[in-house]
């Protein structure tokens, strides 16, 4: 993911902003995400169905088609749901490794779905977490997550965030669930949910931290947290990962707003294919 983001920010390949088809507002969406990334290219067809929340059907399903760039030969068709889950968390972990204080030990998870699970696994790879708190708008979901992962469920988002070094917001919230007043100086936020232009997870105060995004162009069209707050963008993640721009000071409060990029899916799908062929 670090390489994919660095190449993206350097202008390598072809990466149009995804096309979103609205089947039913706030309930059913389809995304088309093509990219050409070096010797491979592909397309992810992803469904985002918030209406499925609480049912046995996932809110996200996806299929990835992978081709050779040189001759257009198809290489693979694969399920993209797990790839989407893992690459999203891996991107957050890569950015957290650069932006969060080295002594970060406390993690707050706002949301208790698949992205909370994936982020917990990924962030444990880059920081030694000793205190993990989870909050969900549905208390039973937070308590079930806590039992499964051996972490602490809390009844209020503020209780999770106060004193936390790293915060993940992974919800489909339409209005802010994270207040900047709760963040301690130097905290790092990974905001990966609510990727619609009129939805947001963070209030204006939270968005005053040094803002890093995966794509300036994409967040300008899709991220309500950025659009509605008018927050200035410090850098793309790929600019920091490539060394083109310095990381904010370790003492700075930072926010990473991720909407997800096709180049991430193509890089992950290529890795899966190569691993399957070994």
pLDDT for 54? 85
Mean pLDDT (the chain, rounded): 97
HEC readout, the chain:
CHHHHHHHHCCCCECCCCEEEEEECCCEEEEEEEEEECCEEEEEEEEECHHHCCCCCCCEEEEEEEEECCCCCEEEEEECHHHHHHHHHHHHHHHHHHHCCCCCCEEEEECCCHHHHHHHHHHCCCCCCCEEEEECCCHHHHHHHHHHHCCEECCCHHHHHCCCCEEEECCCCCCCCECHHHCCCCCEEEECCCCCCCCCCECCCHHHCEEEECCHHHHHHHCHHHHHHCCCEEEEHHHHHHCCCCCCCCCCCEEEECCCCHHHHHHHHHHHHHHHHC
Domains parsed from the chain with CATH numbers: 2-79+264-277 (3.30.1780.10), 99-261 (3.40.50.720)
pTM: 0.97
Query: pLDDT of 143-188, one tens digit each?
Result: 999 999 999 999 999 999 999 999 999 999 999 999 999 999 999 9
Query: pLDDT of 114-138, one tens digit each?
Result: 999 999 999 999 999 999 999 999 9
């Amino acid at each position: 993911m670090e390489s994919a983001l660095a190449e993206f920010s350097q202008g390598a390949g072809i990466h149009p902003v995804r096309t979103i088809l609205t089947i039913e507002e706030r309930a059913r969406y389809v995304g088309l995400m093509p990219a050409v990334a070096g010797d491979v290219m592909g397309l992810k067809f992803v469904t985002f169905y918030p209406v499925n929340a609480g049912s046995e059907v996932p809110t996200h399903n996806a299929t990835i088609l992978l081709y050779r760039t040189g001759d257009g030969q198809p290489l693979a068709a694969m399920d993209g749901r797990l790839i989407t889950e893992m690459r999203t968390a891996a991107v957050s972990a890569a950015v957290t490794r650069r932006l969060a204080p080295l002594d970060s030990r406390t993690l707050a998870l706002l949301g208790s779905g698949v992205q909370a699970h994936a982020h917990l696994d990924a962030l444990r790879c880059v920081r030694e977490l000793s205190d993990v708190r989870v909050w969900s708008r549905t208390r039973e979901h937070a308590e079930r997550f806590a039992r499964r992962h051996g972490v602490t469920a809390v009844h209020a988002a503020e209780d999770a965030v106060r004193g936390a070094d790293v915060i993940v917001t992974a919800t489909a919230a339409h209005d802010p669930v994270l207040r900047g007043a709760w963040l301690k100086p130097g905290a790092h936020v990974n905001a990966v949910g609510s990727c619609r232009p009129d939805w947001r997870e963070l209030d204006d105060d939270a968005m005053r931290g040094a803002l890093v995004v995966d794509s300036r162009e994409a967040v300008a069209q899709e991220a309500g947290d950025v659009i509605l707050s008018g927050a200035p963008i410090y850098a793309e993640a790929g600019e920091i990962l490539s060394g083109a721009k310095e990381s904010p000071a370790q003492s700075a409060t930072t926010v990473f707003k991720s909407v997800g990029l096709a180049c991430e899916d193509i890089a992950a799908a290529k890795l899966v294919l190569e691993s399957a062929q070994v």
